[in-house]
Chain A
Amino acid sequence: MKNYPIWKSFTVISLVLLGIIFAIPSIIYDENSKNWFLKNKINLGLDLQGGSYLLLEVQLDVLYKEELDNFVDSVRLISRDQAAKIEKIDIQENEVVVFFTNIEKIKDIRDSFFQMYRGVSLQISNNRLSIKLNDEYRKIIQDSAIKQSLEIVRKRIDESGTKEPLIQRSGKKRILLQLPGVKDPERIKDLLGKTAKLTFHIVDNENTSALQNNLAPFGKIIVSDMYDENTKYLLDKRAVVGGENLVDAKGSFDQTEGHAVSFRFDTEGAQKFGKVTTNNIGKNLAVVLDGVVITAPRINSAITGGSGIITGNFNAQEASDLAVLLRAGALPAPLEIVEERSVGAGLGADSIAAGQIAAIIGMVFVCIFMILIYGTFGALANVSLIVNLFIIISLLGTIGATLTLPGIAGIVLTIGMAVDANVLIFERIKEESLKQTKVFHIVKNGFDRAMSTILDANITTLIAAVLLFAFGSGPIRGFSITLSLGVIASMFTALMLTNFLVYMYLSFANKKELTL
């Protein structure tokens, strides 16, 4: 062992051992292991273990529109208080323009309005007051909507019994969901497809002409029945109490009414509900869910206990799903599914099997080829190649990376490309052997000369892989991860392990000349 530093041998051997040891958890792959060591295994991506990926977009336009409507209502209220007459109101995409018949009160109205909505841009020109939904204001709406949506989505998914879901914000207005093991996401999609905005309104039975003309007066709204579109109700626009005051909801069964949802209000909700039911005995109270009336029973007596039941033509599943939605709370805005990828466990298992076969056969081909071409040196390179594979697996396991199908492709590709560094070294050694005769000189020069080329060549591949990670999405990222790890591992195995093996071989075989 001529001049081979002990610290170097030690480093190489310990790194190789670490690489092999930490690959063990991923190779054994015990899914439910509690052992701290065996937990360091590769995570399988949804495309390999089966599951659903959903990308949801929060329909912010609905919220902006709602806010503009709020502006209109507030301006009307303020104007009424100030006794100013409104000629007409023009609602555009981003702003509300109010035309007043005279301009005396317009500044006061603007100031009062600004007290209520700080951050909107207000502009007066002649008799016009324009209220603009500016970018800052939109951003506030957007951020709070996404935050709230995330929370509600998380609650709903938890209620559905999905194990280990991943729920996170993606970009400005999207929510990304990964649901391992969920093969058919229809039920989840149903749960997420409803806003579940629940409100209670007093029904106006006196103003019958409004319903006939289908024109709601100020402060009222017309809402259809859930089961019969032609049945309409005229309701107070202002909700008596809403779903945000619910503390619990359960599917229940009532002897006379069938399946129902029983609910309980918090203290504030119970007080409001009690007060309204006390003051409105004899009137009807409509239960409105997502813009339709589920039921509108008559208030026979004051309900002060803070709990009640909602009846409708539910079956058991519908009642319990509605309870889930009410418990989780309402989404601030509807969600739209913009991307979905679901893979069954069968296809996932097939992909893993195919990937393993491709990797093993690719490996065998490359190993045979290397031995055919380089003989003993080829065999040494093969040892490096196999260790390289172990290192990739152990790195994936310890950093908790996710292995995807493209990731497997990256590993197979690495098997082919990893020998490159060895080839570069051997070719240099071959050239050097023509110039010199001292075996160790030849080897040393071969490694030294190949070094800068190996670095240059691998760094370009790394650049491509890193950018792929930055801009890629989902499974493709898995590819860039395995490719990067493969490139890094191959530099180590070639420059250190092959180097070590070649020195060992030459010293033990006591080679006096080198033919390669």
Chain B
Amino acid sequence: MFGLNKIIPVEPNINFLGLRRNFLIFSILAMLISIVLLSIKGLNLGIDFKGGTLIEVSTKNTSIGELREILSSSYSDVSLQEFGNENIILIRLQNKSNQESIETVNSVKNLIQDKVVEFRRSEFVGPTISSELLFRGFQAVSFALIAILIYIWLRFEWQFGFGAVVALTHDVLFTLGLLSILNVEFSLATIAAILTIAGYSINDTVVIFDRVRENLRKYKKLELVDLFNLSVNNTLSRTIMTSLTTLLALVSLFIFGGEVIRPFALTMIIGVIIGTYSSVFIAVPTLLIFKFRPQDEDD
């Protein structure tokens, strides 16, 4: 039997908690920057949430410039983008009313009919729907966070729940901040990605918390910092392994899964990395705020 897992020591002894101040400062800064970015630059909202029209076409011997020229003579707010390769072009238009956009799709199709091999997809989201979708997305994320917290609170002591909230808020904010910097399109799929990240991050946190709880019973004399450090070290190889296998699958999805799914895969990759980081460096240190044992009062 061969197994590279022997490289990772069975009981590693890395002083994660010793570095907590540095990471805390880093994370607080990252969250602040994210908030500033979200309020100034905002997210690159896709048509799901902004409303509008999107048409994907595949062309033959036509450059994106030619198409742009044809369309921009009729529409002032049209934007074109190559999608995956130079023969596939994404056309986006902003429309004010439902009726207008239906006419727009038809007239755009007529204008470029002879340059196009195939209309691969067309999407139109009206203004009422887009605001509804945004609201429902927000609702889904909030309810999911609350439900997860209730579960943690029932299964663990409330202090753990607090640690989990801090870590989750951190993950969501940080991820959104990075999406804003990278200008990744924010769509319905992104909401799904964020919820999955929340689930994943909590999953990671729960595994470590589980060990903290077990060790709290097992080592009654150990100082809390050392106990937390031990718990993180105990679960370290699992944390790394699971993150790596998940990332392997996601990278494969990012590279081979096609253009439509790429923003989703990217969001997930960012989220899994942040979620893993926060479980170790944010969720666990947060528990230090609380005095789990009477004898730790002078800690």
Contacts and interface: CB of A to CB of B under 8 A. Distances in A.
B265 A409 contact: yes
B89 interface: no
B293 interface: no
15 contacts: A184-B119, A344-B118, A354-B261, A357-B257, A358-B258, A365-B248, A373-B4, A409-B257, A417-B249, A434-B10, A434-B11, A460-B151, A462-B199, A463-B147, A463-B148
B234 interface: yes
Contacts of B191: 468, 472, 476
Given A374-B5, A467-B143, A431 B10 contact: yes
Interface in B190-223: 191-192, 195-196, 198-200, 202-204, 206-207, 210-211
Interface stretch (B69-77, B239-247, B283-291): B239-247
Contacts of B151: 459-460, 463
B207 A424 contact: yes
Contacts of A473: 133, 136, 188
Interface stretch (A24-32, A299-307, A332-340): A332-340
Interface in A469-489: 470-476, 479-480, 483
Interface stretch (B15-23, B33-41, B98-106, B173-181): B98-106
Interface in A451-465: 452-453, 456-465
Contact of A342 (B99, B123, B126, B261): B123
A350 interface: yes
B192 to A, nearest CB: 5
A85 interface: no
B89 to A, nearest CB: 13
> Which of A415, A423, A424, A475 has most B Cβ within 10 Å?
A423
A86 interface: no
Given A346-B118, A423-B242, A351 B199 contact: no
A308 interface: no
A416 B119 contact: no
B169 interface: no
Interface of B: 1-5, 10-11, 56, 58, 98-99, 102, 105-106, 118-126, 128-129, 133, 136-137, 139-140, 143-144, 147-148, 151-152, 155, 188-189, 191-192, 195-196, 198-200, 202-204, 206-207, 210-211, 234-235, 237-238, 241-242, 244-253, 255-258, 260-261, 264-265, 268
Interface in A325-379: 336-344, 346-347, 350-351, 354-355, 357-359, 361-363, 365-366, 369-370, 372-378
A interface: dominant SS: helix
Given A357-B256, A467-B144, A472-B192, A339 B125 contact: yes
Given A55-B129, A365-B252, A472 B2 contact: no
A419 interface: yes
Interface string A173-198: 00000000001101001000000000
B216 to A, nearest CB: 15
Interface in A191-233: none
B249 A415 contact: yes
A460 B148 contact: yes
Contact of A362 (B102, B195, B252): B252
A461 B199 contact: yes
A31 to B, nearest CB: 22
A430 interface: yes
B209 to A, nearest CB: 8
Contacts of B249: 362-363, 365-366, 412-413, 415-417
Nearest to A487: B199
A470 to B, nearest CB: 7
A406 interface: yes
Contacts of A347: 56, 120-121, 260
Contacts of A456: 155, 206-207, 210
A479 B187 CA distance: 14
B188 A476 contact: yes
Contact of A464 (B102, B120, B144): B144
A369 B206 CA distance: 24
B248 A377 contact: no
Contact of B140 (A405, A406, A468): A468
B128 A453 contact: no
A298 B238 CA distance: 88
B91 to A, nearest CB: 14
Given A342-B122, A457-B206, A464-B148, 5 more contacts: A369-B244, A373-B3, A420-B246, A427-B237, A461-B199
A423 B210 contact: no
Nearest to B147: A463
